Structures are given as C-alpha cells and as structure tokens.
Amino acid sequence: MTGSSGLIGSEVCIHFGNRDWEVHGVDNNQRAIFFGERGDTRWNQQRLEKSLSNFKHHELDIRNREGVLKIIQEIQPDAIVHTAAQPSHDKAAEIPFEDFDTNAVGTFNLLEATRQYSTSIPFVHLSTNKVYGDAPNEIELVELEKRYDYADKTYAEGIPESFRIDQTKHSLFGSSKVAADIAVQEYGRYFDMPTACLRGGCLTGPNHSGVELHGFLSYLIKCNLIEKEYTIFGYKGKQVRDNIHSYDVAKFIEAFIEAPRIAEVYNLGGGKENTCSILEAFDMISEISGIPMKYNYSDQNRIGDHICYYSDLRKMKSHYPDWDITKSIGDIFNEIYDSWKTRVQ
C-alpha cells in the first residue's frame, strides 16, 4: 500500500487489515513537505500502527527506484494498491520536477518492480479525473441558483471513461498523472497484467488532512469549524464536484482485487447523487455546525479546473454489480465535521 498514511491509503490499510490481510504501508510523509505542517500525516501512520497489529510501516520514497525494486521482492505481495502522489495541480506548477518524478516516475518504478516480481498480482492505481483536463468544460451547461449542471443529456449520468484526454489543458499535475495512467494501462495490455486506473473525483472522508491546495471538502469543513475565511476561486462558487467516501473507495478496490481485470479504467466518484457545489457545501456545513461560513471570492479560477464534473458510475456497477455507494453526501459531511472537531481542539 503506497501512500499508506494518506486518506485513501489509510482507509485501504484498515479495510484489508480488518479482513486479516498482512498490510505493508509505504509512506514518507511527503505531504508535509509539499504542503507544510498542516499537511502532515504522521498522526495517521501512528493511528495505523496502534490499531492494526498486522500493519507494518516502511519509510520509503517511491522515487527511490532501487528501494522500490528491493521492497517488492522482499515483501512479495499478493496485491498492490498505489495511492502515493503529489496531489495538487496548483502545487505542481511550483515544483514541476518533484511532481513529475513522484507521479509519473514513481508509478513507473512500481509497475516495473511489480512486473519483475509477478505479472499475475492485481495492481490498483489511484489516478484522477484531471486526466481529462479541462475538456469537460466544453460540455453545454445550465446555470442554476447555486450550481451548474450538464445541459447536454449525453452526460446526464456524468462523465464516462470514454471521454477524451487529449487536446485539453491538464495542468502540470494532470499531465504527470496522465503519464502514470497510461503507463498503468500499458503494463496491463503489454504484459497481460491485472491493472486498474481509478480516475477519482473528490475522494474524501474523516481522515483527510485537507489543505487549501488539496482536499476541497475536508478543508472547507475545517474552515467553517475554526471560522477561517474560505476563498472561492472563480465560477461564482457554483462549480460542482461528486464526493465519494474513502470507505466506498476501499470497497471497490477490494472488489477489483477479488475479481481483477486486465488494463481497466474506471471513473471513481460519488456519482450524481453525491454532488454539491461550493455554495451548496457552505449551506450544508453551516446547517450541521450552526456556524455561518466566512468566505471571500476571487474572479480567477484555478487553471484547468472543472466547472462541473461528476462520474458516470455505470461501467463500475456493470463490472462489479455487488458494489455501490453506501455513504451519502450527508454522511460524508457529518463524519468529516465530527473528525475535525476532535482534531482542532
């Protein structure tokens, strides 16, 4: 499990640890280097070490090729889940070499290490919907009171996996993740390996160390709780995201590992039912906390940012009919709020 101290990584560790798997976590708290003290994930590492007797932490940077090759041969895993990444498209422009080396080269290191060990074990990669760049912004939209939505009925259920990834502005983060995404698919096709690219929307949950540059919902809820001013970047605050709880992500990863497929791609989000705009998120958290949201507005949207994006889940559900979203958007808000209440006191 790479990125084991992060939101999805830690959730997957707990999910499989509770099912009696021996779990090896690879993490070096790089999030704290990328985002400073507020992005520190050591607390999550310590939580895993205390709560899971069958968990072992490995301090390793996935950019360390020899270290990655060595650890795969030593552990000899039955499955690999890769979530380690530089996750912010804003930050990538400040640290382009670190971003590409982590997201693209780090993923390639893991793929080749896996191939040298075994071509039969499942390899699950947490990709991103940013591989589509800003092409979703070309879809005709309707503007409502507090959100945008798709006017084109082709996308009534959301963005499918067949949506194009070229001739679009990705941000440097998006381009490094495209490189990783394509590499994962290619290792699957070329070497007949069971690989999956999960193109995540807003992956969230109570164990997220959300910061302004990454972790939209977690950071927004934290701002409300501590009464910090939140900055909206463009699109009138009506930009829409689908939110999926880390538990439901872990459940899908388990489903894939139990019945793996070759070189698959899935858009992994909360779907239309779990969407909200920033303005709607303000209303939802204020109703829960009783605290009015403090915010300011910047006309400048983030480069390559989506105006409206939610995932079409039909392919996932057709391949794995026993999987479905179990955590509603209301559940997600309440769990993140309860978590931040204990962490900021």
pLDDT band at 345 (very low <50, low <70, confident <90, very high): low
What is residue 36's predicted lDDT score, i.e. its pLDDT?
A: 82
Strand pairing category for 240-245 and 275-277: antiparallel
Span 125-149, average pLDDT: 97
Q: How far apart are CA 106 and CA 230, in angstroms?
A: 33
Nearest to 271 by CA among 310, 322, 306, 309: 310
Q: Where are the domains of the chain?
A: 7-343
Who's near 150: CB < 8 A, 6+ residues apart? 139, 140, 141, 142, 156, 308
Between 211 and 184, the more confident residue is 184
In which residue are the tokens 């939110």 written?
Answer: 243
pLDDT at 238: 98
Question: Which residue type, as a one-letter code, is found at position 330?
Answer: G
Mean pLDDT value across residues 240-255: 96
The predicted pLDDT at position 209 comes to: 65
Backbone angles phi, psi at 218, to 5 degrees: -60, -45
Distance CA 191, CA 265 (A): 16
Q: First-to-last CA distance in the chain? A: 31
Give percent above pLDDT 70 in the chain.
Answer: 97
Q: Which residues lie below 8 Å from residue 162, measured CB to CB, with a gap of 6+?
A: none
DSSP state of 303: T
Q: Which pLDDT value is given to residue 125?
A: 98
What sign results for the dihedral spanned by CA atoms 47, 49, 51, 52? positive
Residue 58: CA count within 13 A, CB half-sphere: 19
Give the pLDDT score at 38. 75
Is residue 183 scored above 80 in pLDDT?
yes
pLDDT digits (tens, 9 = 90+) for 27-37: 999 888 888 88
Res. 201 pLDDT band, cuts 50 70 90: confident
The letter for the amino acid at 338 is D
7-343: CATH topology: Rossmann fold (3.40.50)
At 83-96, the pLDDT tens digits run 999 988 788 999 99
DSSP-derived secondary structure letter, 146: S
**pLDDT single digits (tens) 67-81:** 999 999 999 999 999
Q: Which of 96, 134, 135 is CA-nearest to residue 303? A: 134
Please tell me the distance from the alpha carbon of residue 24 to that of residue 289, in angstroms, as a whole number.
37
Give the dihedral of Cα atoms 17, 20, 24, 29; nearest 10 deg.
Answer: 10
At 269 the three-state DSSP class reads coil
Q: Tell me: pLDDT of 208 over 80.
A: no
- Residue 213, pLDDT score: 57
Average pLDDT over residues 227-237: 96
Residue 108 corresponds to which tokens in the numbers above?
A: 């390639």
- Do the Cβ atoms of 256 and 188 come closer than 8 Å? no
* CA–CA distances in Å: residue 316 to residues 193, 196, 233: 19, 11, 32
Q: What is the pTM of this model?
A: 0.94
